[in-house]
Amino acid sequence: MIVAPREFRDEKFEEPKTILEREGIKVVVASTASGTARGMFGMQITPDITIEEVNPAEFDAVLIVGGLGSQTYLWDNSGVQRIVRYLNQRERLVGAICIFPVVLAKAGLLKGKKATVFRTAATINELEKGGAIISHDPVVVDGKIVTGRGPEAAREFGQKIAENLSQP
C-alpha cells in the first residue's frame, strides 16, 4: 500500500489493510519519505519502506490510498508511476481509491478502462485526459485494475482487492 506522508485518508488506509490482513495477505506500506506518515484525521503510521526502495517484482499488487496529500505528494511521482506501470504490464493487481485513480490515468493505465474516482473538476479532467470510461459506481473492477470513489467505498474496495488476490 502506498500512502502520502501527510494527509492520507485514515479509513481508506485502515479498512482495506484490515481486510487484507484478515485474509492472510501480507501488507507492506510505502511512502515518499521514511518516518511517521500522518492521516487527515490523526492516524499515524510508520511506512515499512520508501517508494524508491520498492522493487515491484516482489509484489502481487499495489494499492494507493487517497486523501488530500495524494495530489501534493503522489499524483506526479515518477516512482509511483514506475510501480503501477510495472505491475500492470505483468497483469498484477493495481488498486487506487479516492483522488488517486488520477495517478493511474497519468501513468497511462486507464485508457479505455472503466474507472471511478472521487469527483472534482480536477479528477474528472485527469481521468478524461487519460482516456478512462468514468463510472459513478463506488468501486469498479476492470481486469486487474480496481478503483474506489471515496471514503464510503473503503470497505468494498478492500473486499474487491482481497477477492482478486485470492483468485488463482
Helix, coil or strand: residue 78: helix
pLDDT number for residue 168: 67
- C-alpha cell read off for 11: 479509513
Report percent pLDDT > 90 for the chain: 95
**Which DSSP category does 111 fall into?**
T
pLDDT score for 70: 87
Residue-by-residue pLDDT tens, the chain, 168 positions? 999 999 999 999 999 999 999 999 999 999 999 999 999 999 999 999 999 999 999 999 999 998 999 889 999 999 999 999 999 999 999 999 999 999 999 999 999 999 999 999 999 999 999 999 999 999 999 999 999 998 999 999 999 999 999 876
Print burial letters for 59-85: b (CB count within 10 Å at least 16), e (below 16).
bebbbbbbbebbbebbbebebbbebbb
- Reduce the DSSP state of residue 59 to 3 states and report it: coil
The CATH number of 6-166 is 3.40.50.880
Measured between its terminal Cα atoms, the distance across the chain in Å is: 21
Q: In the chain, how long is the greatest CA-to-CA distance?
A: 38
Assign residue 24 a region: left if phi > 0, alpha if psi is -120 to 50, beta otherwise? Answer: left
Ramachandran quadrant class, 32 (left: phi over 0; alpha: psi -120 to 50; beta: rest) = alpha
C-alpha cell at 16: 482495506
